Amino acid sequence: MVKQQRKKREFFFVLKICFTFFLRIIKGLVHNNKVSNLIQERLIPLVQSIVETNSGSSTLPRIAPNLAFSVLDLLTTVLRSLNPPINRNLLNQTFPIVVHLLLTSDDQQILINGGECLCAFLSCVSIDLFSWNDSKTNISSIEYILQILAKFLDPKTPENCCTFVGKLIRGFIREINKTNQPSLLGDTLGQILKAVLAKLQSKFHQFIPRTILIF
């Protein structure tokens, strides 16, 4: 029994090392404009395979839930490494999945990695992102981001799931300002700040340094 547990730990350790090297290779390839678009296209079915709602449109079998956060990690790496503009299919097909996971999942690792992925969408492809609308619901990307912020600023949400939220809010405000369309925020800026204050008044002491810079 002890030997089996040790072998299992060793296997996952080796797997983690291999995945780290794989991410480095992908990061280098995405910088190459000749293959970047192909990598983005091939990534779409992989991301689709991590949720049941998209399993019908994916050409791959559904990935085990405990590996979904690794796929989000891969998507984050690609987003942060590519030269704009983003492949429109990648945005249209993967952004809704990231939003769906962040709004519905309770898995801490998925929420953390999904949050980092959302930050990557914001910092790397914000111009394309802010013009995006959900074709099924007609909800804008900004409205979805505000829903996600509301979830993670809720005092009931565990603190260790909110490690990215300060960065997300700062990035959200910064990127909207870059569009020279401050009206996109409308009255929502005040709502965000009120939610941040409510979170700060909770017992989440480690949350304070991550959000105090917002003000």
CATH number at residue 52: 1.25.10
pTM over 0.75: yes
Q: What is the DSSP letter of 185?
A: T
> Which is higher by pLDDT, 76 or 158?
76
The answer to whether residue 202 scores a pLDDT higher than 80 is: no
d(CA 175, CA 205): 28
Average pLDDT over residues 196-213: 60
Identify the weakest region by mean pLDDT among 94-103, 119-128, 171-180.
171-180
What pLDDT digit, counting tens, does each position of 70-106 carry?
Answer: 899 999 999 999 888 889 999 999 999 999 999 998 8
d(CA 36, CA 86): 9
d(CA 10, CA 92): 38
d(CA 56, CA 178): 38
pLDDT of residue 98: 95
Query: Number of structural domains, the chain?
Result: 1
Identify the weakest region by mean pLDDT among 55-59, 87-91, 130-134, 154-158.
55-59
CA distances from 33 to 25, 87, 136, 191, 209 (A): 15, 12, 31, 41, 39
Average pLDDT over residues 17-28: 77
Phi, psi of 50, rounded to the nearest 5 degrees: -95, -5
Q: What is the DSSP letter of 61?
A: P
Average pLDDT over residues 34-46: 90
- The residue type found at 136 is K
- Range(s) of the domain holding residue 80: 2-214
CA angle centred on 19, ends 158 and 38, rounded to 5°: 105
